[in-house]
Each structure stands twice: as structure tokens, then as C-alpha cells.
């Protein structure tokens, strides 16, 4: 059955009786700030909260198509200015949707939908993964390490992984 927004609202309603208030920034001491950044794919089969048993407030999770750090730079920098990350992991996964779509095909569909926007569409990139997953993880790590705007604390503490959606195992990618 396809999940609907109405179903989500009903599920949310059911959570309210057990809801615990979450502290504002103004109520947190520095040691309560989240220092862990997780960059991963938007794929609904790759859920970092489940993979790592995350609790509220433990990690900032940024997700995009493919789990490519390159598309998340502004988000990383703005949140880092608030919390100063000291840990960063990148998790990509087997059978990623980004290994199935192709930038050119996405663009082709968009040109048909909006022919007047050809220039804008030509300049877009969608994070397709054409090589190995290991290499794609390395690409994200290298992007962060080589970017002058990214903090040293992040650069020195990045680890990369491939999550196997069949076995649940995480394989570390040395980079």
C-alpha cells in the first residue's frame, strides 16, 4: 500500500502520548551539542537512524541523492557554524538509486517538461554514480578534505562507508 500523508499524520498522533520535550539551543550546555555529522543517501532503504540506533539530538544527518557531500556544502558549513562538528561519516549504499539514474536522462525529461529552461537544465548535475561505490565515497571525502571552507576538525575526522542493504553490514572505505 502506498503511504499517504494522512497515514503519516495518524502515526504522528500516536507518538504524542510518549513525546519527551527536546531542549532549545539556549537550554543546552556545550557538551550537549551534537558534534557528529552523517552524510548519506536520501534512499528510504538507507536510514542512518536505524543503521546506528540514533537517538534525538545525537547526530546531524544530511541526505541527498547518492549521499554525495558535494551537494551539501552550504548545509554543512551553516550547521557547523552553530555546533562545530568533530566527527564526520559518509555512508553510501549498495543498489543506490544514483547508480540507476543518469544525469543525461534526467535532463532529457526536464527539457521535455520545461523546454524554455534549457540553459538552466544544462547547468544542472544530479550526482549519478557511474564508477564503483568505493570510488564515489572517496570522491566525497576528497571533496571535503580539499575544500578551503571546511573546518580542520571535519577534515581530520572523516570516515567513509558502504552500507550493504542485503546484509546490513558496513564496509569502511579507506581514503
Q: Is 93 annotated as a binding residue?
A: yes
* Shortest Å distance, C-beta 163 to Zn ion: 9
Identify the CA nearest to 127 among candidates 44, 54, 40, 11: 40
Using CB under 5 A as the binding rule, whether residue 41 contacts Zn ion is answered as yes
Minimum CB distance to Zn ion smaller for 72 or for 80: 72
- Taking 3-state DSSP, the helix, strand and coil percentages for the chain, each rounded to the nearest 5, stand at 45, 15, 40
Residue 96 contacts Zn ion per CB under 5 A: yes
Q: Does 43 bind Zn ion (CB under 5 A)?
A: yes
Exposed/middle/buried for residue 98 (C-beta within 10 Å: 0-12, 13-18, 19+): buried
Distance CA 123, CA 29 (A): 44
CB of 96 to Zn ion, least distance (A): 3
CB of 48 or CB of 76, closer to Zn ion: 48
Binding site for Zn ion (CB under 5 A): 41, 43, 96-97
Amino acid at each position: 500500500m502506498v503511504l499517504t500523508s494522512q497515514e503519516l499524520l495518524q502515526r504522528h498522533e500516536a507518538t504524542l502520548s510518549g513525546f519527551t520535550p527536546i531542549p532549545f539551543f539556549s537550554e543546552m550546555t556545550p557538551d550537549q551539542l551534537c558534534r557528529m555529522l552523517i552524510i548519506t543517501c536520501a534512499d528510504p532503504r538507507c536510514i542512518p537512524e536505524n543503521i546506528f540506533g540514533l537517538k534525538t539530538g545525537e547526530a546531524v544527518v544530511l541526505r541527498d541523492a547518492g549521499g554525495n557531500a558535494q551537494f551539501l556544502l552550504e548545509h554543512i558549513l551553516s550547521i557547523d557554524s552553530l555546533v562545530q562538528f568533530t566527527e564526520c561519516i559518509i555512508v553510501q549504499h549498495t543498489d543506490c538509486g544514483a547508480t540507476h539514474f543518469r544525469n543525461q536522462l534526467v535532463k532529457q525529461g526536464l527539457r521535455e517538461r520545461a523546454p524554455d529552461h534549457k540553459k538552466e537544465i544544462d547547468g544542472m548535475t544530479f550526482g549519478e554514480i557511474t564508477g564503483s561505490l568505493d570510488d564515489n565515497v572517496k570522491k566525497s571525502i576528497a571533496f571535503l578534505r580539499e575544500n578551503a571552507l571546511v573546518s580542520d576538525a571535519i577534515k581530520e575526522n572523516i570516515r567513509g562507508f558502504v552500507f550493504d542493504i542485503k546484509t546490513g553490514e558496513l564496509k569502511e572505505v579507506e581514503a
